Amino acid sequence: MIRISIFFLLLSLFCACADSAEKQEGKPPAEPGRIAANGAVTFQFSTAAAIPVLEKKGNWCRSSFPDAVLINADPANFNRRFFRIDQGVYKVGIQLGTTIGTFMLRDAGRKKIDLFTSKNFPECLSSLGNFTLSADASEVTYDNRHYIHFTVDVQQDAGGLVVFLEFPPGSEYGMSVHRCADCR
């Protein structure tokens, strides 16, 4: 019975993280059509080469993300969570039941945030086809077409960069964020 449960858990994770060519058709990571508001922080899909599955060198999927990041709730909007980023790579996981949407973020400098998906790390990150950049690249929408849907935006304040995730009203998602200071 335990072996069957483990099999279905692994199958679920594989399906959630698999890079589906069908979902990617017609959704290439194009350059934004508009320029973001003056001074706005924008997202870009990382152009880092894909790391082959089971590769050890440079594979952040196999790296330790030991630093748990403090996640805060927006007091004005219960469906909105936020956390701060600085140096390092941040692995974000949004979970509903046994389905997990996972991506990584890194400050790319000059008010840009690199977004890593299955295009870069097919072993452990969600499909590129689940992510959509807004026209001005100031917001990313995630939709896995299986109950997980949220938006991500970044703002800069006096303390640095703050990442905001907004979930649908009434959603019961779990969220974790961990940092790898040594990932480069």
In a domain, 114, yes or no: yes
The Cα 174–Cα 9 span in angstroms is 17
Grade residue 17 by pLDDT with cuts at 50, 70 and 90. very low
The count of structural domains within the chain is 1
Residue 113 near residue 44, CB atoms below 8 Å: yes
Instruction: Supply the range of the domain harboring residue 53.
Output: 2-18+41-180
Predicted confidence at residue 144, as pLDDT, reads 94
pLDDT tens by residue, 33-87: 344 555 689 999 999 999 988 888 888 998 889 999 999 999 999 999 999 999 9
| 3-class state of residue 155 by DSSP | strand
Pairing of strands 131-133, 67-68: unpaired
The Cα 183–Cα 124 span in angstroms is 15
* Segment (H or E) for 45: strand 42-45
Mean pLDDT of 103-108: 96
State the CB neighbour count (10 A cutoff) for residue 173.
21
The dihedral of CA 157, 160, 161, 167: what is its sign?
negative
State pTM to two decimals.
Answer: 0.79
In a domain, 79, yes or no: yes
Which residues are CB-contacts of 170 (< 8 A; sequence separation ≥ 6)?
Answer: none
In a domain, 77, yes or no: yes
In a domain, 30, yes or no: no
Predicted confidence at residue 70, as pLDDT, reads 97
pLDDT tens by residue, 161-180: 999 999 999 999 999 999 99
